[in-house]
Structure 1
Amino acid sequence: MEAKQANLSILMFPWIGHGHVFPYLELAKNLSTHNFDIFFCSTAVNLSSVNDVLANTSSSVSIQLVELHLPSAPELPPCYHTTKNAPPHLLPKLHEAFQMSNSSFSDIITSLNPDMLIYDGFQPWAAKIASSLGIPAVHFATAGAVPYSFYFHSFISATSAFPYEEIYLRDYERKAYETMVFSDLGVKKNDLDSAIGHFTLSCDVVLVKTCRAIEGKYMDYLSVLCKKKLVPVGPLVTHSNSEEGKHAEIVEWLSQKNKFSTVFISFGSENYLSKDQMVEIAKGLEASDVNFIWVVRFPPGERVSIEEVVPKGFLDRVQDRGMILQGWAPQTQILAHPSTGAFLSHCGMSSIIESIYFGVPVIAMPLKLDQPFNARLVVEAGVGIEVKRDENGGFGGADVADAINKVIVKETGEDIRLKAAELSEKMKNEEEDAINEAADQLRRVCMEHKQQK
C-alpha cells in the first residue's frame, strides 16, 4: 500500500489585479487537493471576494487567507486596494503602494515559514525575501507563453525578429506596449533584473496558465529563453455547482435562441471602452442582426446610463434579440450554453482559455497589454478572427458586423467552430494531467530544497 504523502505548505502571493487573483485562487484550490496546505495572501478587499468563492467550495479545500497591508494614503482607501475598484488614474499610485508593501509581506512570510512561495510577476522582491529565508520561490505566470516569449525575446535578442511571424505587434500596439513596459511599469531597458527578474529568480521551474495544445511551441521557446522548465497548469476554469440555478433569467433567455446563434460581448473586468467605441459596437450588433448578450462596464466612480453610450433608439430596436448587462455576467455559464456561437472579446488570457475550453470561437478586439498577442494566437490556431482596425486601432460598426457575420452567419463560421471544438477536446484531455504534473514538480522542488539544507 502506497504511503500517504506528507502535506507541504505553500504561500501564494498574486498581484492585486482581478485577472491575477482568481487564476491564483483556482491553482490554490487544485493544489490543496494534492496534499498542499495553502496560505493565500492579498489585500482585504480582494480576500473578501476570495472568501465568497471559497464559501461555495468543497470543504476538503485547505486555504487560509492572509491579509497584506498596503501603506495608507488618503487617495487610496482600502476599497481601492484592487485594480478592479481603483479609478484608472490611480492605478500608478496603487502599483507604487503595492511595491511598498514588501515590509508587510516580509513579516507574513517570516511568521508563516512556508515550504514554498508562489509569486507573481509584479513582485520579484518577494522571491528575494523568500530566498533570504531559505524558502524556494516559484513564479506562476497568469499570462500565456506567447506574450512572455515575445517579451523575453525583445530583451535578449532585440536585434533579431521574433521567430514566429504569426505573432507580431502593429505600430500603434507596439507604441502602447513600450509605454506600458518602460513608463507605467518602470522597467529599465538595460536592466534585465527589472525586466525579467520574476523569471530568473524562479527556482528551477515556472508555472504558466496555459496548455500545450494551444501554446506548445511557444512554451518550448520560452523555456529556452529563460532557461527554466515551463510547467503548464492547464486552463484553471472555475467549475462551481453553486452557480447552478443562479442567473436563471439569462439561461432561460439563451435557451430560447437557436444553437450557435448568439454572440457574447465582454471586455473583462478592468477594460473600459470609450463612448465612440461603444457606439460602433452597437452599430455593428444592429447591422449584423444576430442575438447578443453584451456586458457593459464603466470606470469606477462614473455614473453613466447605457442610453448615453448607444445610438438613439438602439435599445428598442434590439430588445427582442439583445440582452445588455451592466457590470458583471456569469461568463462561464454563458460560454458553456449551446446557443452561444461566438465571444467578442478583449482577449485577456483567462477569457481566451475559457472560450476555447467551451469550444466557442473568438472574435478578437484586443485593447492593451498581452491582448494583441493572444488575438494573433487564436487566429493562428484557426479558432477566431480579428475585427479589422485602422492604423490607429480604430474600428467602425461595419467592421464589427463583418467579423460577427463571418463567425455566426456565413459558412466560414462552421470551419472555425469545428477547430474550436477540436481544440476544446484537446485542452480538456490535458487538464487533469497538467495539474498533477504541476503538483509533482512543486513537491520535487520542495523536497530537493529540504535535502540541501
Structure 2
Amino acid sequence: MADHSAQIHFVLVPLMSPGHLIPMVDIAKLLAHHNVVVSIVSTPLNTPRIKSAVDFAVKSGLKIRLLELEFPAVQAGLPAGCENMDSLPSRDAIKNYFEAAAMLQEPFEKLFQDLKPRPRCIISGKNLAWTVETARKFKVPRLFFDGMGCFSFACTQSLHNSRIHETVSRFEPFTVPNLHHEIKLTRAQLPEALNPGSEDLIDVRNKIVAAESISDGIIVNTFEELEQDYIQEFKQTKGTRVWCIGPVSACNKSETEKITRGNPNPPTKNKHPCLEWLDSQEPKSVVYACLGSICGLSATQLIEVGLGLESSNSPFLWVIRGGEKSKQLEKWIQEEKFEERTNGRGFIIRGWSPQLLILSHPSTGAFLTHCGWNSTLEGICAGKPIITCPLFAEQFINERLIVDVLGSGVSVGVKAAVAWGIEEKSGLVILREDVKNAVEKAMENSQEAEKRREKAVEIAEMAKKATAEEGSSYLSVKALIRDVIQETSF
C-alpha cells in the first residue's frame, strides 16, 4: 500500500453483540495491516472484552484505538450495565436495546467531528441504521458489515420472492427455488423474519432493512472460493459494491492473538486449563461442543446435549455459559455428578473459551456448533468436520451449506428453530440420541467420514489461500481501502 494511506482513518461502529464485536476487531486489524488508522467505538462494559486484543495489535505496530461512549442503558429502559446483547434480561428488552444503540448517535457525532486524522469512512454493523444519517452529515461513505454469508442471503431472498414456504405445513420439506444446489428446508426451521408470528420485532427489522438499502457498500465475512455462485448473486441483488474479506478470524495468527480474541480476562502466562487437557488426548479424538454466545437454550435442552456427548463415548470439550443463565444446568451437573462420571473423558468450560486455539489443536477431531456464521467460518478455517446443531436466525440455512454444499458436516437433525428469548416455549428440539448418533457418525473410521475430513481440510486450504498475500480476500481489503481513498480525496 502506498505511504499516503498512513493518514487514512476508518471509524468502526460495531453492534454490541459478541458475534459482531469480535469480527469487527478482526476487520480493524485487517485494515490496520494495510497502514490505515482505525478507531473502534466501544462502551465501558464492552471495552474489557476487546481491550487485550487491541492492546496486543497496537504493540505489534498497528494503528488501532478505542473510542468509548457511555451506553444509555437506563435511559432506554434497560437494567444498568446492560450494554451487550448477550446480557439482555429478556426478549422484550431487544427493542429497548436498539433504542439505546440509536441514542449513541449524538455523542458519537460530537466525538467524530474532532477526530484526527479526519475520518474517511464509517463501517457500522448493518443493524445500526442511524449511522447512515451520520455519514451523510459528515460527507463520508458509510459501509456496513454484514455478519452473515451470501448463501444464507440467497436462500432467504429466494423465499421472500417465491413465498413457497407459505404454501406448506410447518414440518413439510420444500425445495428452495432458483439456487445452484438442491436445498430442502421446512417452515419450522426458517428465520423469524420469514415466519409470521413474531410480530414483536417488526419495527426493529424494518429500520434495519431500510438502512441497508442506502448503503455505500457492504463488507462480508466470506471468501470468493467458498460460496462463489452465491456471492455473484448477492452482488447483483444488492446493486452496490461488495467486498468479501473473510474469514476475518484468520488474521489471528499467533497464540497470543488467539487467546486474547474476545477474552474479557486478559490471560496470564499460564495456559488455559482446557488446552492442557487437550494436550493429553489422542490426535483428532475430541469433539468440541459450543452452541454460541447467545445460546439461551433451556437447561432441559442443554442436558440433552450433555447426555448425548456422554453416551457417544468420544472425549469432549463442552462450553456452557457461566453465571445466572446456567444455574439450572449447574444444579443438574452437581446432582448427577456429571463431571465425575465423565472425568478424564469430558471437560466443561464455563463462560469464555479460547475457541480458535481449541479448533486448531491437533487433538480436536470435530466441532459441534449452532452454525452461527462466525463459528461456521472458524470451524472451516481449522479444517475440522462440523456437527451441525442449529438453533435460530439463519443457522439452519448455514447447516445446509455445510452438509449439502460443502460436504464437510453431519447434522444432529434439529427439526425446529427456537425463538431467541422464548426458547423454553419451543419444547424439546435437541434429543440426546440424535447428538450421540451425529457425533459417532462424524468421528467414526468409515469411508464417508474420511471423505468429510478430507473435504474439511481442502476447504481450510482454500481459506488460507484467500487470506494470504495476493489471495482473493487480501486483494478485496486493498480494493476497499483504494475505493474509499478515491471517493474521499480531501
Q: TM-score, normalised by structure 2?
A: 0.83
- Tell me, in whole angstroms, the C-alpha distance in 1 between the residues paired with 2:143 and 2:160: 22
**Partner Cα separation in structure 2 for residue 375 and residue 229 of structure 1:** 27
* Deviation for aligned residue 1:76: 2.9
SS at match of 2:81: helix
2:48 paired with 1:34: no
1:399-448: CA deviation from partner (whole Å, max 9, x where unpaired): 11110011112413211111000000011011133453233323333233
- Report the counterpart of residue 368 of structure 2 in structure 1: 344
Q: Quick one: distance in 2 between partners of 1:212 and 1:73?
A: 43
Match of 2:412 among 379, 384, 387: 387
Identity of aligned residues (%): 26
Deviation at 1:185, TM superposition (A): 4.0
Q: Counterpart of 2:23?
A: 23
CA distance in 2, matches of 1:247, 1:294: 18
Distance 1:117 1:363 in 2: 37
**Number of the residue aligned with 2:420:** none
CA contact (8 A) 1:45 1:78 kept: no
| Pairing of 1:282-301 with structure 2 (within 5 A) | 282-297=306-321, 300=324
- Secondary structure (helix, strand or coil) at the match of 1:91 reads helix
1:87 partnered with 2:103: no
- Paired residue type of 1:385: V
Aligned to 1:323, the other structure's residue is in SS state strand
Task: Give the secondary structure class of the aligned counterpart of 1:138.
Answer: strand
Q: For residue 24 of structure 1, what is the amino acid of its counterpart? A: M
Partner residue of 1:178? 194
Q: Is the 8 A contact 2:129 2:208 kept in 1?
A: no
Write the deviation string for residues 88-147 of structure 1: whole angstroms up to 9, x where unpaired: 343332122212332223323333341111111111321232023211111121211122
- Structure 2 CA distance for aligned equivalents of residues 448 and 181 of structure 1: 46
Q: Report what 1:404 is aligned to.
A: 439
State the alpha-carbon separation in 1 of the partners of residues 472 and 80 from structure 2.
Answer: 36
Aligned to 2:133: 128
Would you say the 8 A contact 2:399–2:411 is kept in 1? yes
Give, in whole Å, the separation in 2 of the partners of 1:332 and 1:162.
36
Deviation track 1:10-56 (CA, whole Å, cap 9, x = no partner) reads: 11111111110110111101111212111111222112322122222
- Range that drifts further, 94-103 or 373-382: 94-103
Q: TM-score, normalised by structure 1?
A: 0.90
Change (3 A) 1:310 1:221: farther
Partner letter of residue 142 of structure 1? G
Deviation at 1:196, TM superposition (A): 3.2
* Alpha-carbon distance in structure 2 between the residues aligned to 1:128 and 1:180: 30
Residue equivalent to 2:218: 206
Alignment of 1:360 onto 2:384: yes
Structure 1 counterpart of 2:68? 67
Please list, as runs of the form range in 1=range in 2, the aligned pairs for 1:150-161 lying within 5 A after superposition: 150-155=155-160, 158=163, 161=176
Q: Structure 1 residues 346, 135: CA separation in 2 closer, same or farther (over 3 Å shift)?
A: same
Distance 1:414 1:213, change over 3 A: same
2:253 aligned with 1:239: yes
Residue 147 (structure 1) aligned to one of 152, 161, 165? 152
- Cα distance in 1 for partners of 2:153, 2:233 equals 10
Say which of 241, 259, 284 aligns to 1:229. Answer: 241
Cα distance in 2 between the residues matched to 1:29 and 1:381: 28
Q: C-alpha deviations, 1:378-403, integer Å up to 9, x for none?
A: 11201101112346772321111110
2:450 and 2:434 mapped to 1: Cα distance? 20
Partners of 1:168 and 1:373 within 8 A in 2:
no
Contact 1:17 1:82 survives alignment (8 Å): yes
Q: Output one character per residue of 1:349-387: Cα deviation in whole Å (capped at 9) or x when no partner.
A: 111111111111110001111211211111120110111
1:311-357 deviation digits (Å, cap 9, x = unpaired): 83433321121111111221111111111111110111111111111
**Unpaired segments of 5 or more residues in structure 1?**
none
TM-aligned CA deviation for residue 290 of structure 1: 0.8
Deviation at residue 166 of structure 1 after TM alignment: 4.1
Query: Is residue 2:118 matched to residue 1:106?
Result: no
Q: 1: distance between equivalents of 2:63 and 2:411?
A: 42
* Residues 181 and 355 (structure 1), Cα distance of their counterparts in 2 relative to 1, 3 Å cut: farther
CA distance in 2, matches of 1:93, 1:114: 30
> How has the CA–CA distance of structure 1 residues 5 and 274 changed in structure 2, closer, same or farther, with 3 Å as cutoff?
closer
Aligned match of 1:431: 467
Q: How many residues align?
A: 448
Per-residue deviation, 1:218:
1.2
How far 1:288 moved relative to its partner?
A: 1.1
Where does residue 422 of structure 1 map in the other structure?
458
> Which residue of 204, 210, 213 corresponds with 1:197?
210
SS in 2 for 1:97: helix
In the alignment, the residues of structure 2 paired with residue 390 and residue 283 of structure 1 have an alpha-carbon distance, to the nearest angstrom, of: 19
* Alpha-carbon distance in structure 2 between the residues aligned to 1:5 and 1:36: 6
2:317 aligns to what SS in structure 1? strand
Q: Mind listing any 5+ residue stretches in structure 2 that lack a counterpart?
A: 166-175, 260-266, 417-425
Between 1:292-301 and 1:56-65, the stretch displaced more is 292-301
Contact 1:282–1:311 at 8 Å: present in 2 too?
no
Other-structure match for 1:252: 276
Whole-angstrom CA distance in 2 between matches of 1:110 and 1:154 = 42
- Local SS of the residue matching 1:294: strand
Provide the C-alpha distance between the structure 1 equivalents of 2:388 and 2:196, rounded to a whole number of angstroms: 21
Deviation at residue 58 of structure 1 after TM alignment = 4.5
Change (3 A) 1:362 1:336: same
How many angstroms apart in 1 are the aligned matches of 2:134 and 2:196? 26
